[in-house]
């Protein structure tokens, strides 16, 4: 009996700590604000280095809120889990009438390198890297040649990586491969939003740590069933397959999902995930490592406004960007058993990162207190699996 009591006290302490943290509400931490310099700050991207340094990125739009504005790409660093931030620095400066956007960072498994892609004027793709925790970056290298490989199969006029973090494969014969989700467009000025429509989804990749880049197969093209697939995010599954989670403007208002054995070829036909609502907005997806309190999991975040009564029975492809919700899957995306609201008010694009200690960081855009305008700011919330699983049955599934 003494031995049983001896082991009971640490267990009670663990459960108490688990419950106390779970009761707290994540604080909203400002990271980027347009102030008087910019019209808006949007399109967040986020990574956490092996040493725990957070690198937050955004598009600081100068001449307007639209995608074709003059744009500075900004970065801020935090070495204390987001409590304090260094001043913003411009990692890719604006060019007049040539938008610079779609930041796509990747932390290399070597523990030293941060790779980053972006585009300029939706016509050229660039690659830079840092080997000092984001303090300095290399000169940009034009890698548009990888996108040119899609011709003549797809005669794009618009290219875009990401946005948001990409992945590096950790399993199998392709271990080390950097996989970048992308979308391409053949603009049609005769349709609404035709500067970015119709579109298709694919990947580009590097097998030599960013030195050279190649195209992957086209995953899905615009069709009556799958309308204008565009921004997408990748995750590697435990069996080594790569899953793409794709935004579209399709009637079901559900995310599209496709699978590949290697992240570049033999993609399955995308299917709609009826548990993942799509208001027509970018989403974020990441793997959460398992520990003594939970199994490894996938975390998905996007605005889930499907319950908004003002939009019911409205014939509109788009829904409101509000009610940012986290959804957790313990079965590699087959179901999403944990659901929790991160931001009940206005919220749009987001990105996710996981720290060495298991802390989860969500960087997202919001236009609260801006009178319904597009004057977005970018904020951070941090939490852990205990908070996400508070009071829900999956919390008991310790592997």
Beta strands in 269-356 (DSSP E): 271-277, 284-288, 297-303, 322-329, 338-346, 350-354
Q: What is the CA radius of gyration of the chain?
A: 21
Summarised one tens digit per residue, pLDDT across range 257-283 is 999 999 999 999 999 999 999 999 999
Residue 189 lies in domain = 2-396
Stretch 139-162: mean pLDDT:
98
Burial classification of residue 252, based on how many CB atoms lie within 10 Å of its CB (0-12 exposed, 13-18 middle, 19 or more buried): middle
Cis peptide before 380 (omega within 30 of 0): no
Contact between 144 and 162 (Cβ < 8 Å): no
Expressed in angstroms, the distance from the first to the final Cα of the chain is 26
Q: How high is the pLDDT of residue 8? A: 36
Q: Tell me the CA distances in angstroms from 380 to 140, 304, 320, one per residue in order.
A: 28, 18, 21
pLDDT of 13 strictly over 90: no
Residue that the structure tokens 């939009």 belong to: 311
Over the chain, what is the mean pLDDT? 91
What secondary structure, in 3-state letters, does 42-96 show? Answer: EEEEEEECCCCCEEEEEEEECCCCCCCCCEEEEEEEECCCCCCCCCCEEEECCEC
In contact, 394 and 294? CB cutoff 8 Å: yes
Nearest C-alpha neighbor of 227 from the set 201, 249, 256, 258: 249
The helix/strand/coil state of 129 is strand
Alpha carbons within 13 A on the beta-carbon side of 190: 0
Q: How far apart are CA 289 and CA 18, in angstroms?
A: 17
What's the structural domain count of the chain?
1
Decide if pLDDT at 18 tops 60. no
Select the more confidently predicted residue: 398 or 239: 239
The pairing of beta strand 54-61 with beta strand 40-48: antiparallel
The number of helix segments (H) and strand segments (E) in the chain equals 3, 26
**In the structure, what pLDDT confidence band is assigned to residue 318 with cuts at 50, 70 and 90?**
confident
Question: What is the domain-level CATH number for residue 178?
Answer: 2.120.10.10
Q: What is the pTM of this model?
A: 0.92
- Write the pLDDT tens digit of every residue in 85-103: 999 999 999 999 999 999 9
């Amino acid at each position: 009996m003494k031995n049983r009591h001896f082991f009971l006290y640490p267990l009670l302490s663990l459960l108490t700590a688990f419950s106390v943290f779970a009761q707290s509400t994540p604080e909203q931490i400002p990271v980027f604000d347009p102030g008087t310099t910019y019209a808006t700050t949007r399109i967040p991207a986020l990574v956490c280095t092996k040493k725990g340094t957070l690198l937050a990125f955004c598009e600081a739009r100068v001449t307007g809120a639209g995608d074709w504005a003059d744009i500075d790409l900004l970065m801020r660093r935090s070495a204390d889990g987001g409590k304090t931030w260094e001043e913003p620095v411009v990692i890719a400066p604006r060019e007049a009438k040539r938008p610079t956007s779609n930041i796509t960072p990747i932390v290399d498994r070597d523990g030293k390198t941060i790779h980053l892609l972006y585009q300029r004027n939706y016509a050229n793709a660039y690659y830079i890297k840092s080997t000092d925790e984001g303090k300095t970056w290399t000169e940009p290298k034009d890698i548009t040649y990888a996108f040119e490989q899609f011709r003549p199969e797809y005669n794009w006029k618009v290219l875009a990586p990401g946005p948001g973090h990409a992945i590096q494969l950790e399993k199998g014969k392709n271990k080390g491969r950097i996989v970048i989700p992308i979308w391409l467009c053949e603009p049609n000025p005769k349709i609404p939003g035709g500067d970015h429509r119709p579109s298709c989804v694919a990947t580009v990749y590097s097998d030599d740590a960013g030195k050279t880049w190649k195209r992957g197969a086209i995953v899905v093209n615009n069709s009556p069933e799958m309308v204008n697939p565009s921004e997408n995010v990748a995750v590697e599954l435990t069996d080594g397959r790569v899953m793409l989670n794709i935004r579209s403007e399709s009637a079901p208002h559900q995310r599209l999902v496709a699978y590949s054995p290697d992240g570049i070829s033999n993609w399955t036909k995308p299917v709609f995930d009826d548990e993942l609502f799509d208001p027509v907005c970018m989403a974020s997806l990441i793997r959460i490592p398992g520990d003594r309190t939970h199994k490894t999991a996938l975390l998905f975040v996007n605005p889930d406004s499907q319950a908004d009564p003002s939009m019911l029975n409205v014939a509109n492809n788009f829904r409101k960007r509000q009610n940012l919700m986290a959804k957790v899957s313990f079965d590699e995306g087959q179901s999403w058993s944990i659901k929790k609201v991160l931001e009940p008010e206005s919220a749009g694009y987001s990105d996710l990162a996981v720290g060495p200690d298991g802390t989860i960081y969500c960087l997202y855009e919001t236009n609260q207190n801006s009178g319904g305008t597009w004057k977005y700011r970018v904020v951070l919330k941090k939490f852990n699996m205990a908070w996400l699983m508070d009071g829900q049955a999956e919390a008991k599934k310790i592997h």
